[in-house]
Structure 1
Amino acid sequence: MSKNIRFFLIFILGFTAYYFFDTFFFKSIQTFSKNLSHSKAVAHVTAYLITLIPLIITLKILLSKRNILDLLSLNKPIFKGFTLAFTGTLPMLIGYMIHFKAVNKIYFETLFINTLSSAFFEEIIFRAFLIGTIYRFTRLGFLSSALFGSLLFAQVHLYQSQNITELMEIFAITFLGSLFFAWVYFESEYNLWTAIFLHFLMNLYWEIFTVSENVSGNFYGNLYKLVSIVAITVIVIYAKRKNKLPFEITWKNLFIKTREVQS
């Protein structure tokens, strides 16, 4: 069995085990933990931590010599990631403050689950593991590595509506959003904290202002989100050029890299 076939076979089996574990046991673990802790937030985090175990095992089997924080890209500067994300999402925050009212009542546990907890664990699962592992340690290019993970990321957000038009909008927005988060993650020197805080802040602003009931949004909700995406893109490109750093994603490696990269 070749090295590449073995890598992908273990990767697929590991993710399949995680997906099965998450599908059938996440809710029961969450309920059990909530009964013990009497906290929805603690239960949410606990369920994620336990269901992530198959992914951690998979990474250690594939790349046993590397530290798990390195494999999940959590060993990068946290403040640097936050600074880029906060600066880039300022247009979204300011625009929402102008065009939308703050919500009347905030349930902090729900807010924590929908913003920080979801952003942290979703970035680990989708960007660091599902997309990042393939891109960093195989010869597949950016789009080849990100396609399946982004499709799955879009699919798991379809619970937000039953309307066909809204479902198509949600799927398109979250699919493209996944590609964008992955691009930012790779171009910020594989700093997953950038994607985590970007995801967190965008969710936070959406939650604390009366923007929309789901991610499909409305004109101003999506306008300021788009302006923030453009701002982040400009900041990343400017920083790379200023520091004379090569771009990670180029036209040449969209589908296949000319050599295997181990970042």
Structure 2
Amino acid sequence: MDRLRFYLVFIIGFVIYFYIDTNFFTLILKQIFIVTHSKAVGHVVAYGITLIPLFMTVGVLHKDYRNISEKLGISKGIWTATLFALITTLPMLIGFIVKFPLNKELSFDTIIVNTISSAFFEEVIYRAFLFGQLYRYTRLGFFPSVFLGSLLFGSAHLYQGNDINELIGIFAMTFSGSVLFAWVYAEWKFNLWTAIFLHCFMNLYWLIFDVDTNVLGGTYSNFFRFLTIIIAIFCTVIYKINKQFPFEINRKTWWMKRSA
């Protein structure tokens, strides 16, 4: 009965959030912009308001409204996560400095919206809620838990494509990125800040340099991006081995777990 209740609350909560986000996000953003003349402020406020149903859902799921931040993975570990993300994204930073010019048309609002705000709120939605609540608190394994969030995450970036080939490439890239962020989140003891800062710095370097107009990228940009991904995986594995921590994602947790 508790398991059925969990799934029902999870689904209903997400549907309510999705409805509010779809119908009111842009409206809230525009109204805040009229008052503040800042897209960044509008973006943050719109996300903050539309995400209230998700935060409430987490409280209802666990019958505890005082520890919502812990259930999402944002209650601690911010400095470790920052260091991890800075080190692992160095290939993108160094490579882009060498290969690409600075983006001279970049605005402060664009940086906030597409790096700090997007990284934080997207990780809360797609990793902490859609993946994290299912994987951490049900018997569902990694692959079934990560699928829905990655599917929606990939779909949310399709606006960047202009033809079928670009759409397929963008979806594949963002879907894979979602799986990576979920894996990092899980292996760093569900410290969401690791995924947030990794996501944030990858977006930031892509923005401040004139790399490409969409997330797909070209040969050089993807070389540096894949190098960052490899180093992120390598650093995570070395960290787990040195600390003698068991790997969260393994053959026993791929599909179904013995217990939540």
TM-score norm. by structure 1 comes to 0.97
Number of equivalenced pairs:
259
Match of 1:90 in 2: 90
Match of 1:101 in 2: 101
Match of 2:171 in 1: 171
CA contact (8 A) 1:76 1:192 kept: no
SS in 1 for 2:211: coil
Q: What's the RMSD between the two structures over aligned residues?
A: 0.8
CA contact (8 A) 1:31 1:43 kept: yes
5 Å matches for 1:190-229? 190-229=190-229
Match of 1:59 in 2: 58
Match of 2:13 in 1: 14
1:57 to partner: Cα distance: 1.1
1:18 to partner: Cα distance: 0.3
Deviations 1:18-64 (A, max 9, x none): 00000000000111111122211111000000000110111111112
Match of 1:125 in 2: 125
**For the residues of structure 2 that align with 1:161 and 1:154, how far apart are their CA atoms?**
12
Match of 1:4 in 2: 3
AA aligned opposite 2:125: I
1:162 to partner: Cα distance: 2.0
SS in 2 for 1:182: helix
**For the residues of structure 1 that align with 2:152 and 2:123, how far apart are their CA atoms?**
13
1:138 to partner: Cα distance: 0.3
SS in 2 for 1:140: coil
1:76 to partner: Cα distance: 1.9
Identity fraction in percent: 48
**For the residues of structure 2 that align with 1:119 and 1:160, how far apart are their CA atoms?**
17
Unaligned runs of 5+ in 1: none
**For the residues of structure 2 that align with 1:146 and 1:76, how far apart are their CA atoms?**
23
Match of 2:247 in 1: 247
Unaligned runs of 5+ in 2: none
Match of 1:230 in 2: 230
**For the residues of structure 1 that align with 2:4 and 2:37, how far apart are their CA atoms?**
45
Match of 2:187 in 1: 187
CA contact (8 A) 1:22 1:51 kept: yes
Match of 1:48 in 2: 47
Moved more, 128-137 or 97-106: 97-106
**For the residues of structure 1 that align with 2:59 and 2:231, how far apart are their CA atoms?**
37
AA aligned opposite 1:57: M
Match of 1:152 in 2: 152
Runs of 4 or more off by more than 3 Å in structure 1? none
AA aligned opposite 1:87: I
Match of 1:35 in 2: 34
**For the residues of structure 1 that align with 2:166 and 2:251, how far apart are their CA atoms?**
32
**For the residues of structure 1 that align with 2:137 and 2:57, how far apart are their CA atoms?**
14
1:85 to partner: Cα distance: 0.8
AA aligned opposite 2:214: N
